Each structure stands twice: as structure tokens, then as C-alpha cells.
């Protein structure tokens, strides 16, 4: 996996000749892991390690391998996807909370570390976004998917689940020169969930 991630970043940098934005979160393929049976007292080391390996180590390796390309370009942007679970407690998902809190603080640390090199680092904290991961989670935990989707939407003050475009437009902005003074920020996209 680390070699694949390095080669992916390298190929993108070579194809584009500029590595200005790196977003680590493949919606397909489960690159973010949320376990359904992850209460601290009932979890296992295997679950803990799996969640940390994907959600934390993945961000570390992505940054590690992107930095050399961003340095070569003389500037760049790294955008990490955390979660509202990195900001507040929801309950019952201890490994996921720990991993997303780590992503949030790694982003802040890297923002300070790489700012002198004109490399900006920010994180996005979404609530429920209708992705295959959320759909699979709801299918695994509820007998009626549509009812579960409606209930998840109702947890947000605006009454809906977010869409991938809600995140994509924030990424576009953060990666653009319009956000040139934004680094170390947490962009919360949650329909008011954490308000």
C-alpha cells in the first residue's frame, strides 16, 4: 500500500507537472474506515489497528510522499478529510473518533510545519455524506435503509444528509488561490450538526 500510494502521488505529479492539491480519501474502496462494533470496552486491537492504519497512517504516508512534489513546485495544498467525529463525541465508535481527531491535529501540525515553504494544509470535517461508506454502514446497522437514511438526515438541523458535491466544492476552494491565506483551518460541513 505505501508503495502504491507513493506511485499514485508521483504519477499525478508527473501527469499534471504541478502537484498543487492532494486529497486523500477515496470514496470507493473504503479508504476511510469506520467500524460498527467499536466501543472502547468491546473493540479489539485488530479493529483499532485497522482503523488507525487506514485513517491515520494513510494521511501520514500521503503527506510524506506528496511533500517532495509540492516542494519541487515551490508551493502546494494538502487537504485531509477528517470528520465531525474528530471534533465531537458521537459515542460507540472509539477507534474512528481517535483516528479522525488525529487527522485533524496532524493537519494543524503540518500547516505550521510547512507554511514557510508555501505549502498549505487544511482539513475538512464532514458529518453524514451519502457515500458508499455511509450507505454500507446504514445497511449493516439498520433493517430499513431508507428509514435509516431519513433518521441520519434528521440528526442534522437542516434535515438532510450531505452529498459528495458539498465536500468537493470545499476542496475546490481550499485548493484554489482564492484560499491562499487559509492554512491550518478546519472546514466543517455538517448541515449544522455541531452548531
Chain centroid, CA 20 distance in Å? 18
Place of cell 437514511: 149
- One digit per residue, the tens of pLDDT, for the chain of length 195 reads 455 555 556 665 565 443 333 333 332 233 455 544 466 777 889 989 999 999 999 999 999 999 999 999 999 999 999 999 999 998 888 999 999 999 999 999 999 999 999 999 999 999 999 999 899 989 998 999 999 999 999 999 999 999 999 999 999 999 999 999 999 999 999 999 999
Strands (E), the chain: 21-24, 76-81, 119-126, 186-189
3 state SS of 12: helix
Extents of the domains making up the chain: 2-189
CA distance 83 to 188: 8
| Residue in 79, 96, 86 with CA at minimum distance from that of residue 134 | 96
CA distance 69 to 19: 6
| Three cell numbers, residue 14 | 508527473
Active-site residues: which are they? 96
CATH match for 2-189 among 3.90.550.10, 3.40.50.300, 3.40.50.720, 3.10.129.10: 3.40.50.720
Would you say 125 and 189 are in contact if contact means Cβ atoms under 8 Å apart?
Answer: yes
Four-CA torsion 162, 181, 6, 167, nearest 10 degrees: 10
User: For residue 3, with 0-12 CB atoms within 10 Å meaning exposed, 13-18 middle and 19 or more buried, which class applies?
Assistant: exposed
- Which residues have a Cβ under 8 Å from the Cβ of 94 and sit 6 or more positions away? 38, 39, 40, 43
pTM of the model: 0.82
38 HSE (CA, 13 A, CB side): 23
| Residue in 163, 160, 179, 161 with CA at minimum distance from that of residue 171 | 179
Amino acid at each position: 500500500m505505501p508503495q502504491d500510494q507513493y506511485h499514485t502521488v508521483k504519477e499525478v505529479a508527473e501527469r499534471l507537472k504541478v502537484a498543487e492539491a492532494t486529497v486523500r480519501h477515496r470514496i470507493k474502496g473504503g479508504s476511510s474506515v469506520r467500524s460498527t462494533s467499536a466501543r472502547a470496552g468491546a473493540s479489539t486491537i485488530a479493529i483499532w489497528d485497522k482503523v488507525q492504519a487506514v485513517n491515520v497512517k494513510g494521511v501520514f504516508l500521503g503527506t510524506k510522499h506528496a511533500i517532495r512534489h509540492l516542494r519541487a513546485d515551490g508551493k502546494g495544498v494538502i487537504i485531509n478529510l477528517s470528520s465531525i467525529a474528530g471534533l465531537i463525541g458521537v459515542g460507540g465508535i472509539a477507534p474512528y473518533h481517535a483516528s479522525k481527531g488525529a487527522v485533524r491535529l496532524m493537519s494543524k501540525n503540518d500547516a505550521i510545519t510547512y507554511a514557510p515553504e508555501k505549502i498549505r494544509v487544511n482539513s475538512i470535517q464532514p458529518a453524514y455524506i451519502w457515500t458508499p461508506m455511509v450507505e454500507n454502514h446504514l445497511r449493516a446497522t439498520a433493517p430499513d435503509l431508507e428509514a435509516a437514511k431519513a433518521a441520519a438526515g434528521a440528526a442534522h438541523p437542516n434535515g438532510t444528509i450531505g452529498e459528495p458535491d458539498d465536500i468537493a466544492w470545499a476542496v475546490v476552494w481550499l485548493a484554489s488561490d482564492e484560499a491562499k491565506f487559509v492554512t491550518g483551518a478546519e472546514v466543517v460541513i455538517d448541515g449544522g450538526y455541531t452548531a
